[in-house]
Amino acid sequence: MSENKNSEDNGEGQLDLFNKEVTNQQNPPATSKNISTLVDDIYKLVTTGTKSPNQEYLIGMAISIMDGVKKQLWATTNNKPPSLRMSNIGKPCTRALWYEIKGDVKGEPLSPETKLKFMVGDIVEAVILYLAKEAGHTVTLQQKEIEIDGIRGHIDAVIDGELVDVKSTTSMGIKKFADGSLAEDDPFGYISQISGYANALGKKTGTFLAFDKSAGDLVTYTHYELEDTSKKIANVKEVLAKDAPPPRPFDPYYDKTAGRKKLGINCSYCSFKEHCWADRGLDIQFKSGKPVFYLKDTKNDFSF
């Protein structure tokens, strides 16, 4: 899945129909392949190539790409009210989730650039899963719908018996997957998301297959300490049942160079930041072409 994926529930895609109609679409069980060799096997495949790629796998990839593009275009026209999904229950900020589900203000619309990133992320996922099949790994349950306590979601796939979630990320982001620090620094709630998928399938672990969009690197990271998804869902529903949003969970950071406080990564990416921080006001500055959100109200701004 690409980062910050859109709505999960948009009907049965062409890939679902393809999987139902083609009984032998999955590659035969492999005896020497497992998740630990996946990246090396994909690298070897793209290095040496093949004169006879599997036509069913190619068709499956093409259908997945078509579904991904349709999904992102459909999301733009979707007028359904926001709802809880497996991909958003893990958001570190339940205040933002309250605004999204219960608030009377709309969040900032996604920019065309962000929508294109999501679309490309879906395409990357389809290509990576195709390469895994072509490299001899067993890929099953693509886009299978799962459910826990009424909250639904769709997994990416199970590869060699292991739950796998594909993430296309940045050169900075992929470091967290490579060194395992994602468990301590997870601003987008990936751990909660994959925990929900794993718990629904009865798996003990979940593996991320991360792709660096800039450098082309692939890495895997297997997370062993799954969260209690039912407890997470109960806590989120309790927050959403209240008439007022919870307090802001993140404090601004002091920028010594600017001598001002600015929003951190969670708040900067939030579509409700203008409304959430209306009491302080936001001043947008650009550094290296990227927006930085400073607080206009400088009360209590000091170095610490």
**CATH entry, 14-232, from 1.10.10, 2.60.40, 3.30.460, 3.90.320:** 3.90.320
The pair phi, psi for residue 162, each rounded to 5°, is -105, 135
Q: What does each of the 304 residues of the chain score in pLDDT, given as a tens digit? A: 554 444 444 445 555 555 544 434 444 444 468 999 999 999 999 999 999 999 999 999 999 999 999 988 887 777 788 889 998 988 889 999 999 998 888 889 888 988 899 999 999 999 999 999 999 999 999 999 999 999 999 999 999 999 999 999 999 999 999 999 999 999 889 999 999 999 999 999 999 999 999 999 999 999 999 999 999 999 999 999 999 999 999 999 999 988 999 999 899 989 999 999 999 999 999 988 889 999 997 665 544 4
pTM assigned to the model: 0.84
DSSP per position, 90-144: T-S-HHHHHHHHT-SSPPPPPPHHHHHHHHHHHHHHHHHHHHHHHTT--EE-TT-
- The token pair that represents 213 in the structure block: 């969009």
**Between the CA of residue 266 and those of 96, 103, 186, 280, 303, what are the distances in Å?**
10, 19, 10, 17, 21
- Lookup: tokens for 265: 């990564």
Q: Are 85 and 17 in contact (CB under 8 A)?
A: no
- Residue 31 DSSP code: S
Please report, for the chain, the start and end positions of each structural domain, with discontinuous segments joined by +. Answer: 14-232, 253-295
> What does the DSSP assignment read for 78-97?
--PPP---TTTTT-S-HHHH
